[in-house]
Structure 1
Amino acid sequence: MSGEDTEHVRLLAGLDGELPPIVVHRRTMRVVDGMHRVRAAESRGEERIAVHLFDGTEEDAFVLAVRLNSANGLPLSQADRGRAAARILASHPHWSDRRIAEVTGLAAGTVAAMRKRSTDRFDQLKKRVGRDGRARPVDPAEGRIRASESLLAHPDSPLREIAAAAGISIATAKDVRDRIHLGKDPLPARLRHAAAEAAVPQTEMAVIESELPSMRKDPSMRTEAGRALIQLLSAHSIGDRNKWRRLAGSVPGHRTGAVAQAARACAEQWLRLASELEERNA
């Protein structure tokens, strides 16, 4: 995270009355939240400050620090938010993108994109824990398929065993069994469509769609170059795969090679820009 803000320390030191309690990790006695208050108390010549002790792992303490800072402290920079999200992804890979986004103040699409760029071990997780604390399958279709295979192999098995083995709820296991008895596909239409879409590599257009509104409102982006960049991003933010198919279908046969070559060249330019920006944030 960014360093201490001396002006913020000065403002805190000038406040009347006792400073709010800080949060300290009990096992390591490290300050989780309130380092500026500690510095302010020191500048006042005070030897004591109120403390709330936190019991938990060091990684949980880090999550708490990010959450409290996002809610009450100085705003984190975009780079700090990104680094925090990367660390939480590594320590809490079972958390959903939305839950990590809520802690760090990033868009869920941004966290999803970071997860895709991270190690493949995240793909091995069958469930993720959402903001409400409930665990849900990453791929609900996969759980239904496993349940259907178990039911076909062992039709007399109790639903509780089928559900536990497949990583789904008992209600879902019952629905799969009922579908099989009726000769239906164990996957409802919406999951069949989602499974078919998942077979096609997903783009990161959700990131553009979630970040563009805040970019447009950011005064620092209202330069000539900033406006040009936003216009380019807006022109390329086609998240609907059907629109891409329609665009591809509109290209006449004798132009497909040239258009494909031009598209790849544009993609390489965008990747070069992305690499330069990521190096600045490293």
Structure 2
Amino acid sequence: MVFSNLPQQQRELPEDGTTNLWGVSRLSEVHRVPVASLRPADSPRHQSEQAEHTHLLANSAQELPPIVVHRQSMQVVDGMHRVRAAELRGQSEIRARFFDGAPEDAFALAVRANTSHGLPLSLSERTAAAVRILTTHPHWSNRAIAAVAGLSAKTVAAQRRKLGPATQTTARIGRDGRVRPANSAEGRRLAGRLILESPGASLRAIAQKAGISPGTVRDVRARLLRGEDIVPLRHRLDENGRGGLNENRQSGERRPPVARLVAAPPPAPGRDEGGVSGIFPSLCRDPSLRLTENGRRLLRMLELHTLDGQGWQSVAQSVPAHRAQIVSELALECARQWQRFASQVRERAVAPVA
């Protein structure tokens, strides 16, 4: 591929969502630089230069885009084929933009440049480049590195797992330059608490406080309403900090069951809509009860009393005669406990707000 065949916006480094990461904002204006002062590139290519591509560029009638040079070392970051083409043309100078930054950042910029224009990198070259960036920039997110290397985030995540603990971080920088937790489980839990405390708060406000995206907050809110665990299984961490269902299957471990209530079915036609059986389903849908330990305990206690009259009669008839007296006394004691409980709850309902 020659540059003359590319649209104008692809002839120089693109200003996309990874600008804050791979350094386009740190490029200087165009200068004319002596070709003899340049050092060979730290290239992500297995074969640093291809003669055929160099000759194609040298024979191009159009002016080639400026190269990128690491100012501190004068090493070519992007455009080694253009440098060789300039030499073939007999040019003593070449147009260049300087990059100011660390050598590791310069390499990442070189990778991004070679996946966006010019002679494309092979899959093995892009994968090897991603592995190198993972070791030098473990704090970058999988999606950010994927955007730089021209790979999928899943591929980068697989390489991160192969590299082991050295590349595992608790927080990572995304393509937009914002820092977010590597696993959103804690952010989801915080968002869940914030939603319960302030149901009317906007998604964006909760997202800023919880350190997650508004889309994740929307998912948390939807899960609350459906009575599901607000942290998807793939985001939950085991004791060693590893996440995902497959890892536990491979290690033979089993996760503890997630405490979850199944909402009671709607009342059958003809039943008292205002009685216990009619009110109980709405309580099951209340996140403030469903997502707290004592709230779930209360719902389990109340569920025992959702029987209709025929159900109570059937249970009473099943009590053996020799246990009837003690069961009767226990039932009365339970009724007294419920009365005391009802009084305590009623006091909360009428207590003035401090």
TM-score by length of 1: 0.54
Matching of residues 119-138 of structure 1 within 5 Å: 119-123=164-168, 125-138=169-182
Aligned residues: 171
Deviations 1:184-229 (A, max 9, x none): 9xxx8221644279364449xxxxxxxxxxxxxxxxxxxxxxxxxx
Name the amino acid aligned to 1:127.
A
Q: Are 1:39 and 2:103 counterparts?
A: no
| Residue aligning to 2:58 | 13
> How many Å separate the matches in 2 of 1:42 and 1:27?
23
Q: Classify 1:46/1:141 alpha carbon distance in 2 versus 1 (closer, same or farther; 3 Å).
A: same
> How many Å separate the matches in 2 of 1:95 and 1:172?
16
The residue matched to 2:231 in structure 1 has which SS?
helix
Deviations 1:73-128 (A, max 9, x none): 211111111110001101111111111111111111111100001031233x1111
CA displacement at 1:18 relative to structure 2? 3.4
TM-score by length of 2: 0.44
> How many Å separate the matches in 2 of 1:73 and 1:6?
14
Contact 1:96 1:130 in 2 (8 A): yes
Contact 1:141 1:191 in 2 (8 A): yes
Given the alignment, which residue of 224, 227, 231 partners 1:191? 231
> How many Å separate the matches in 2 of 1:141 and 1:7?
51
Name the amino acid aligned to 1:12.
L
Q: Are 1:140 and 2:179 counterparts?
A: no
Deviations 1:46-81 (A, max 9, x none): 111111000011011001101111101211111111
Q: Classify 1:62/1:43 alpha carbon distance in 2 versus 1 (closer, same or farther; 3 Å).
A: same
The residue matched to 2:126 in structure 1 has which SS?
helix
| Residue aligning to 2:143 | 98
Deviations 1:213-251 (A, max 9, x none): xxxxxxxxxxxxxxxxxxxxxxxxxxxxxxxxxxxxxxx
Contact 2:188 2:231 in 1 (8 A): no
Contact 2:187 2:211 in 1 (8 A): no
| Residue aligning to 1:117 | 162
Contact 2:188 2:230 in 1 (8 A): no
Contact 1:19 1:49 in 2 (8 A): no
> How many Å separate the matches in 2 of 1:171 and 1:87?
31
Q: Classify 1:192/1:46 alpha carbon distance in 2 versus 1 (closer, same or farther; 3 Å).
A: closer
CA displacement at 1:133 relative to structure 2? 1.5
Q: Classify 1:122/1:81 alpha carbon distance in 2 versus 1 (closer, same or farther; 3 Å).
A: same
Specify which structure has the bigger relative contact order, considering alpha-carbon pairs within 8 angstroms and separated by 6 or more residues: 2
> How many Å separate the matches in 1 of 2:180 and 2:61?
48
Contact 2:69 2:78 in 1 (8 A): yes
Q: Classify 1:40/1:191 alpha carbon distance in 2 versus 1 (closer, same or farther; 3 Å).
A: same
The residue matched to 1:189 in structure 2 has which SS?
coil
Q: Are 1:52 and 2:97 counterparts?
A: yes
Name the amino acid aligned to 2:126.
R
Q: Classify 1:58/1:18 alpha carbon distance in 2 versus 1 (closer, same or farther; 3 Å).
A: same
Please identify the structure whose Cα radius of gyration is greater. Answer: 2
Q: Is there any run of 5+ residues in structure 2 with no aligned partner, and where? A: 1-44, 193-206, 213-223, 249-354
Name the amino acid aligned to 1:131.
R
RMSD, aligned α-carbons: 3.0
Matching of residues 1-282 of structure 1 within 5 Å: 1=45, 2-123=47-168, 125-142=169-186, 170-171=209-210, 189-191=229-231, 193=233, 194-195=235-236, 198=243, 200-202=245-247
CA displacement at 1:136 relative to structure 2? 1.0
> How many Å separate the matches in 2 of 1:147 and 1:108?
25
Among the aligned pairs, what percent are the same residue? 50
